[in-house]
Structure 1
Amino acid sequence: MWYKISNIIIKFRLYLIILLVAITGFMAYQGQFVKWSFVLANVVPDHDPDMVDFMEFKRVFGEDGNILALGVLDSAVYKVDNFRKFSYMSDALMKVNGVNDVVSLPSLSKLVKDQEEKKFKLVPVFDKIPADQDDLDSLIKYAQDIKFYSGQLINPDNGASVVLVTIQKELMDSDARNRVIGDILFVTESFEKDTGIKLRYAGLPYVRYINTSKLKDELRMFLVLSVIVTGFILFLFFRSFKVLLVALAIIGMVVLWVVGTLVLLDYEITLLTGLLPPIIVVIGIPNTVYMINKYHQEYFAHGDQERAIRTIIQKIGIVTFITNVTTAVGFLVLALTDIVILKEFGIVAGINILATFVVSMIMIPCIFSYLKPPGRRHLKHLEFKALDKVLTALDNLVHRYKEYVFIATAIVAIVCCYGITKIEAVSFMVDDLPEESQTKKDLEFFEKNFAGVMPLEIVVDTKQKKGVQNLSNLRKIDEFESFLDSIEYVSKPMSVVSFIKATRQAFYNDKSSYYSLPNSRDKNFILRYLKEETDESDLASGFIDSTGQKIRISLKMADIGSVKMDSLVNQVIQPRIDSIFGETKFDVAITGTTLLFIKGNKFLIDNLIMSMVIAFVIIAFIMALLFRNFKMIVICLIPNVIPLLITGGMMGLVGIPLKPSTALIFSIAFGISVDDSIHFLAKYRQELFANNFFVPVAVSKSIRETGASMIYTSVILFFGFVIFAASEFGGTVALGVLTSTTLLMAMLTNLTLLPALLLRFDNGKRNATQHPLIEQYPEFYDEEEDEEIDLGLIEVDPPSTDKGEESK
């Protein structure tokens, strides 16, 4: 088959080049319509009970993750001039298009008892900014005594203050979000410049804005770096600008295909799909290395360019195809998950890895058929003495010291298995950001002064209309809120209970000692206000539904991580819910963006682990089709499982947690690393037939011929993936460092452990009449190659008259 394919490619080479260029042009045209994703990735299925609760919460109460927090801890802000500018800043923020509300110290409102109307009304605390410092200090002290705001907007212990900016929820998942936050930053940075007072920034809108901005910059950087690094290494190996330009042209085509595929499938650029262009650059280069190295080897052997070009199609076509399939499998299994971002990443990657094979298989033979044959300078890498010494050392190692290879592997495997038991699956809302980043420092500020800014919501369904007006219901909720307020990582709760307490404090002329629920003596008046004014008061309406049946308890918390979060919810909060509301008909649901994010990461990790298992099974099945020999399947898989154990062991011993970015590594790295095994075993089986099934010779020749290409490609893959360590995102750093390490280990095991296993467990015996799929590798006997032999060119020298000389 591959003989016919080679004829078709060479015969129609010009038309095939034009076709691929046309497809690339079409994909480049489509690429201009690619969109960036601004949606917070939803990885929890819609049918999950927690997701059902969260969607119901959003339907009733709206978005919980649309608040941007500005913090300040500087006594200078309470000076008259600065406080006036602080007030101007709050007013300017309110005028930003896309901002719904701004709550800050200068804009605080208080409840005032209206004696004539017998109602409460909201009036500003700072009707105007006093010119006198003493008057301002008095008002600030008054604001700090309003219990409703204490711990929410003001830290009474150190004077830290926070400004809460609510962004329109419909803008949160669109490009307009970045425009709004950009306008907000323009206002705040002007305040900082004018006063010298530093502001702190936090909240999901800000974190997502920072992440998106950094992501765009990094993707461009990584694409350029991947091209420079892989191109430089490629040039060092082959010392040919022609090889470099051809390789980069092929990779450039496939990168355009990646972007075009995103548009055609109506996908957007996410944190994962955005990594595909540089990943494709790194993964696509090995195809070029194997094919050009084979082309040079063939041309070096016989000097016939056309024959060498045909050979790279005929002799390694199927093996290259299989290795690309196994690599694609590592990505495509992600499409089997229930998670949209993984599906999209896996589908686009898998399609374009197979496209890389098609483009390479056509473009490399076609282009080189138009170019001059390689010169002696370009073939020097075939006689690279340093590499030859390395391969000789590896050959001696596996022949003479294979038992030591097994012992070393066993020791490493045992240590790594111990390390794997130490791995913790933990993730944080912003753990992708480096510890020294300003965003992390700002988050720590809010956690220290206001218990954090990550939203956590609790909805209490009283199961009766106007249940909010039942004082006994409110007392139970108040008891529960008192418990929540005692938790270290959780902010003071905000709910309609807080609002009712504030009305009682206002009723008694703002005396803080009266900040509590009404008693039997004053409840009728105060609860009447709630009955008559709830729908009109923004303070209350955001915390009860339209029927007065459901009550929202809003909390902010520290980014404590998935493990502590799970323990907090299930072992601390939920038992107290059962204790307080167990004998009632109340339905209490814990929800919010933070809870869903943490649960989503656990769901993501579980899916990635399952994907790894599926990839392992599929690739094992491919091995079974190739070899039809259980022993060979095991021998092939062992050298590729050991690197995964090493990576897992490193994670456990060094303390790298299992999270989505690190779990993703295993299926991807396994799909790539098994390529070396296939190349090696394909060559090994060919050498068995060529050397009378003598295993030691077959192993030695396989190391010599495939070893160079394996080292070349592994070095490119290592440096190609390690560039991701330059990222500011912890997940991308982990992906780069651990994947590059895994692939480097895979090269070592495939050049040491794999041949050692063959020497120890393979007797070399094969049934010459039965040929598994791997023996379609056309360096085996192929009748169609016989047709190329011109018998007229065969010459036989006469016997030598010198008896001591062998006949030629």
Structure 2
Amino acid sequence: MMPEDTATHSTMPAADPEERWRRRSGWILVAIGLMTALAGWRAAHIGFNYDFEAFFPEGQPETAFYLQFREAFSTDNDFILVGLKGDQGVFDPAFLRATRDLASALDTVQGVTGVLDPTDLTLPVRDPVLGMIFQRPLLRWDQPEHYATDSAAIWRNPQWVGTVFSEDGQSLALTVLQTPMLSKEGCDRIAADTDAVLTQWQAAQEAQGMTVECHRAGRAHAQVHYVSVMEREVALFVGLGLILLITFLFFAFRTWWGIVIPLTVILLSGLGTLAFMELTGKGIDIMTVVLPTIIFVVGMSDVVHIITRYLDELRAGLPPFPALRKAFREVGLATFLTSLTTAIGFLTLLSSAIGPIQEFGLYTAAGVFIAFGLAFSLLPAVLMRTDAPIRHAAGPEDSSASPWTPWLSRWFIRIVRYRKAILGATVVLTGLSLWLLSGIVVNNYLLEDLRADDPLRQEFNFFERDFSGVRPYELALRFEPGQETMALPGVLAAVDSVETWLAEEVGAGSVLGPASVARTAHRLFNGDRPSADRIPKGPALSRLLDRLYKLDRRTSDNSGAGWSAAVRDDLGLARITAKTADLGANVLAERNTRFLERVDAYLDNTFDTPPFSVEVTGTANLIDLNNRFLASDMVLGLLIAFGMVALIVGVLFRSLRMMLISLVPNVLPLLFIAGFMGALDIDLKVSTSIIFTIAFGIAVDDTLHFLAKYRILLQQGRQPIWALRRTFLATGKAIIITSIILCGGFATLMLSSFEGTFHIGLLVSLTLCFAVVVDLAVLPLLLLPRRA
């Protein structure tokens, strides 16, 4: 019996491949369902964050020095400015009394370490006769009869005008000092608490019949505003993206089947990406706010190519399972290569010196791979268990063709017929773009992402208009550690010149440094006589510095104007702080160059050996320094991406000619968009620098799909001209549909409140439009056999 049993079993038919794959698809769906539940749980906990210090250039000496400088003194942005403007101007008793009440209320907010209030500021004045030091109020707000005298004294001192009082006398500013380096939660709390105090205070003044215009600005409020806008825009982009995807899928496939299946794959791709971000401790910031949109549209490209090919095989008469296998066999390699090149394009952003750009590239590349994995697991599993609502045809290939075929066929004929005109126009546009791109300027503004009508931008504009601005400006003086360099002959006078030139050359206001502290102290120690507002010399300077050191040790002054707040002899550092308008990195760089050249020339001519060196530092300066790396980082990333695409095509075709041809349809759209930027004076900055990498990484997909199909037909022994036409007809529909979806998806970003996100949406959409035209008009002509 055993041999018979053995023979019986040996002749049993093998398991049906279709049935085996159907069983496997069930397990795949169960596994993906479990992972989806886990991903949904993790993604629900993802947070939003905006830390502008993350944009400091990494690994640069300027960043390392600033961190040391900040440790020696303090941060330059841990404050909240509160601007008040009354109907009767500043010198109104009721207005000043209300200001005093507001300052007292703000001082009780958790996290506030002090409030610089002009109604409470006092100055130590030395009686020249008795030699006693007493505290004199800067402004005797409760004694209107002294307003004229006090205002005249205030306006003689540039330390107060433009900092505490506006030049026209209509506004004043309170500086609310906060605990340094507050976390996001701390900033959220202090911003909410100060807003609550301001709202209650304004209501109280209105109840008394006084209208006060109130403004506030600072790091805490900026962070809260950015995060709230990001939260709103993520919901907006996801919602609009879904609506657009559903619309495009309906017109492309015209069935619920063609909508639900691709949409499920794309939604799970985005969910998986957000879960991966949360799992690795990454929140959504101003760079990654566009990531869900990118994952949606990039993932859709693979799904559309696969489904389009699958439906074409069904129309050709193949049963579902063989049609599915053939679709993945023919499109699979191209889809893998496009996902690989897209991910490589984003990974080239790791070469950037800016942390958020690196993270954007890393997590977007991860999202591309997640979308690819789902396209090759979830998509075939679902297709195995659903019936495509399509009429099968068993006739010849052309009789079962897609409705797009006649239109694409006519397009192909026109392209070949007018090939000289098309190539000539391409050459002209390329030359024009090369000329226009020379007008691109690398520049950025501190508030460049905020539109002109943005509420936060309006708040900052108030302080730029009525005061010295809110952009912090830090100047470091470096000298020999452990030496009292400021006491050396002529040194403090030289520092006084530096502070004066800082206002003249850079246009800075609210300048405060060692010389201004010494001048003010000398005047106050001499009875507040205007003639004593100068840097003393000889023994008088030594006595002044001795008093400043003693006073600094005895007092704990919240004003930040003490000697140790300006000079650290033990570290060989001195600090000059100021405020400037947000003029743009280029304007400030030009002014800084003139200023530093003037200082260096003066020090060289005045001293045998310059006693100190001058260096611009601070948070705003570090962000400006990113401009130095933007162009080089962008070019390096694109060169890496170009090289990888050329290498992949070279391996596929083993032809140098094909390598070069593959680059043309991907380089031309980038040149065209660069020319567009130059023509419209769109600056190259952090947000726009990534546009070229995004556009190249996505646009190369269509090129690879086209070339991969062309290669398959050539390997089947087809004639080049036949293979080219067949490739055009087979891939044209998918290329056009995916390009429409991509452009529509990125176009939704143009609704953003952030100008950087708006430019990403506009410029990437245009680049993809250029790319589809080049892929379907120029690329076929480059592949066209000469004898054709």
Q: Same fold (TM over 0.5)?
A: yes
Deviation at 1:552, TM superposition (A): 1.2
Query: What is the CA–CA distance in structure 2 between the aligned matches of 1:636 and 1:5, rounded to whole Å?
Result: 38
Query: What is the CA–CA distance in structure 2 between the aligned matches of 1:708 and 1:139, rounded to whole Å?
Result: 78
Aligned to 2:13: none
Query: What is the CA–CA distance in structure 2 between the aligned matches of 1:84 and 1:160, rounded to whole Å?
Result: 14
Aligned to 1:531: 549
Deviation at 1:647, TM superposition (A): 0.5
Query: What TM-score results when the alignment is normalised by the length of structure 1?
Result: 0.87
2:127–2:526 contact (8 Å) kept in structure 1 = no
1:31 aligns with 2:43: yes
Secondary structure of the corresponding residue to residue 512 of structure 2: coil
Aligned to 1:665: 691
- Paired amino acid for 2:367: N
1:630 aligns with 2:640: no
CA distance 1:267–1:568, shift in 2 (3 Å): same
Query: What TM-score results when the alignment is normalised by the length of structure 2?
Result: 0.89
Query: What is the CA–CA distance in structure 2 between the aligned matches of 1:329 and 1:66, rounded to whole Å?
Result: 39
CA distance 1:187–1:354, shift in 2 (3 Å): same
Secondary structure of the corresponding residue to residue 52 of structure 2: coil
Query: What is the CA–CA distance in structure 2 between the aligned matches of 1:123 and 1:42, rounded to whole Å?
Result: 43
- The counterpart of 1:302, out of the listed 303, 308, 317, is 317
Aligned to 2:117: 104
Query: What is the CA–CA distance in structure 2 between the aligned matches of 1:147 and 1:559, rounded to whole Å?
Result: 20
1:560 aligns with 2:570: no
CA distance 1:138–1:587, shift in 2 (3 Å): closer
Mean Cα deviation higher: 413-422 or 85-94: 85-94
- The counterpart of 1:512, out of the listed 527, 530, 534, is 530
- Paired amino acid for 2:509: S
- Paired amino acid for 2:772: M
- After superposition, what is the alpha-carbon deviation per residue over 1:534-571, rounded to whole angstroms, capped at 9, x for unaligned? 23252213222264953211111121212122222223
Aligned to 1:339: 354
Query: What is the CA–CA distance in structure 1 between the aligned matches of 2:314 and 2:749, rounded to whole Å?
Result: 37
Query: What is the CA–CA distance in structure 2 between the aligned matches of 1:82 and 1:529, rounded to whole Å?
Result: 37
CA distance 1:141–1:546, shift in 2 (3 Å): same
- Paired amino acid for 1:710: I
1:234 aligns with 2:249: yes
1:224 aligns with 2:239: yes
1:364 aligns with 2:374: no
Aligned to 2:436: 419
- After superposition, what is the alpha-carbon deviation per residue over 1:675-704, rounded to whole angstroms, capped at 9, x for unaligned? 1111112222334455x5433332222222
Query: What is the CA–CA distance in structure 1 between the aligned matches of 2:248 and 2:260, rounded to whole Å?
Result: 13
RMSD in angstroms over aligned alpha carbons? 2.9
Aligned to 1:726: 751
Query: What is the CA–CA distance in structure 1 between the aligned matches of 2:112 and 2:669, rounded to whole Å?
Result: 51
1:84 aligns with 2:97: yes
Aligned residues: 754
Deviation at 1:487, TM superposition (A): 2.8
Query: What is the CA–CA distance in structure 1 between the aligned matches of 2:170 and 2:141, rounded to whole Å?
Result: 21
1:494 aligns with 2:512: yes
Query: What is the CA–CA distance in structure 2 between the aligned matches of 1:704 and 1:38, rounded to whole Å?
Result: 47
Trace 1:438-453 onto structure 2 (pairs within 5 A). Answer: 438-453=455-470
Query: What is the CA–CA distance in structure 2 between the aligned matches of 1:466 and 1:8, rounded to whole Å?
Result: 85
Deviation at 1:485, TM superposition (A): 2.1
Secondary structure of the corresponding residue to residue 213 of structure 2: coil
1:104–1:163 contact (8 Å) kept in structure 2 = yes
- The counterpart of 1:550, out of the listed 573, 579, 585, is 573
CA distance 1:156–1:428, shift in 2 (3 Å): closer
- After superposition, what is the alpha-carbon deviation per residue over 1:30-81, rounded to whole angstroms, capped at 9, x for unaligned? 2244343343243445542212321121110021121222234444353322
Deviation at 1:106, TM superposition (A): 2.0
2:750–2:757 contact (8 Å) kept in structure 1 = yes
Mean Cα deviation higher: 660-669 or 528-537: 528-537
Mean Cα deviation higher: 282-291 or 260-269: 260-269
1:648 aligns with 2:665: no
Aligned to 2:9: none
1:185 aligns with 2:185: no
Identical positions, percent:
25
Runs of 4+ in 1 over 6 A off after TM superposition: 4-8
Query: What is the CA–CA distance in structure 2 between the aligned matches of 1:404 and 1:233, rounded to whole Å?
Result: 32
Aligned to 2:725: 700
Aligned to 1:679: 705
Deviation at 1:276, TM superposition (A): 1.5
Secondary structure of the corresponding residue to residue 567 of structure 2: coil
2:506–2:588 contact (8 Å) kept in structure 1 = no
1:77–1:86 contact (8 Å) kept in structure 2 = no
Trace 1:391-402 onto structure 2 (pairs within 5 A). Answer: 391-402=408-419
Aligned to 1:113: 126
Secondary structure of the corresponding residue to residue 463 of structure 2: helix
Secondary structure of the corresponding residue to residue 198 of structure 1: strand
- Paired amino acid for 2:25: R
- After superposition, what is the alpha-carbon deviation per residue over 1:118-159, rounded to whole angstroms, capped at 9, x for unaligned? 4545454456634xx555565555544455423321234444
1:397–1:752 contact (8 Å) kept in structure 2 = no
Query: What is the CA–CA distance in structure 1 between the aligned matches of 2:785 and 2:202, rounded to whole Å?
Result: 72
Query: What is the CA–CA distance in structure 2 between the aligned matches of 1:377 and 1:720, rounded to whole Å?
Result: 33
CA distance 1:304–1:121, shift in 2 (3 Å): farther
Query: What is the CA–CA distance in structure 2 between the aligned matches of 1:147 and 1:714, rounded to whole Å?
Result: 59
Structure 1 unmatched ranges of 5 or more: 764-808
Aligned to 1:169: 180
CA distance 1:153–1:496, shift in 2 (3 Å): same
CA distance 1:519–1:5, shift in 2 (3 Å): farther
Query: What is the CA–CA distance in structure 2 between the aligned matches of 1:279 and 1:625, rounded to whole Å?
Result: 28
CA distance 1:228–1:718, shift in 2 (3 Å): same
Aligned to 1:573: 596
- Paired amino acid for 2:243: I
- After superposition, what is the alpha-carbon deviation per residue over 1:149-186, rounded to whole angstroms, capped at 9, x for unaligned? 23321234444322222221130x43211221121222
1:419–1:653 contact (8 Å) kept in structure 2 = yes
Deviation at 1:306, TM superposition (A): 2.2
Aligned to 2:641: 615
Aligned to 2:7: none
Query: What is the CA–CA distance in structure 2 between the aligned matches of 1:657 and 1:728, rounded to whole Å?
Result: 18
Query: What is the CA–CA distance in structure 2 between the aligned matches of 1:617 and 1:303, rounded to whole Å?
Result: 39
CA distance 1:41–1:125, shift in 2 (3 Å): closer
Aligned to 2:268: 253
- After superposition, what is the alpha-carbon deviation per residue over 1:295-341, rounded to whole angstroms, capped at 9, x for unaligned? 21111221522222222222211111111111111112223444332
Secondary structure of the corresponding residue to residue 555 of structure 1: strand
CA distance 1:761–1:8, shift in 2 (3 Å): farther
Secondary structure of the corresponding residue to residue 316 of structure 1: helix
Query: What is the CA–CA distance in structure 2 between the aligned matches of 1:562 and 1:98, rounded to whole Å?
Result: 32
- Paired amino acid for 1:21: G
Query: What is the CA–CA distance in structure 2 between the aligned matches of 1:393 and 1:165, rounded to whole Å?
Result: 70
CA distance 1:116–1:17, shift in 2 (3 Å): farther
Query: What is the CA–CA distance in structure 2 between the aligned matches of 1:439 and 1:390, rounded to whole Å?
Result: 51
CA distance 1:384–1:300, shift in 2 (3 Å): closer
- Paired amino acid for 1:111: P
Deviation at 1:479, TM superposition (A): 1.5
Structure 2 unmatched ranges of 5 or more: 1-15, 394-399
Query: What is the CA–CA distance in structure 2 between the aligned matches of 1:469 and 1:563, rounded to whole Å?
Result: 36
CA distance 1:706–1:439, shift in 2 (3 Å): same
- Paired amino acid for 1:571: R
Mean Cα deviation higher: 416-425 or 254-263: 254-263
Aligned to 2:79: 67
Aligned to 1:803: none
- Paired amino acid for 1:699: L
1:404 aligns with 2:421: yes
Aligned to 1:769: none
Secondary structure of the corresponding residue to residue 170 of structure 1: coil
Deviation at 1:722, TM superposition (A): 0.8
Aligned to 2:780: 755
CA distance 1:682–1:584, shift in 2 (3 Å): closer
CA distance 1:759–1:549, shift in 2 (3 Å): closer
Deviation at 1:415, TM superposition (A): 0.5
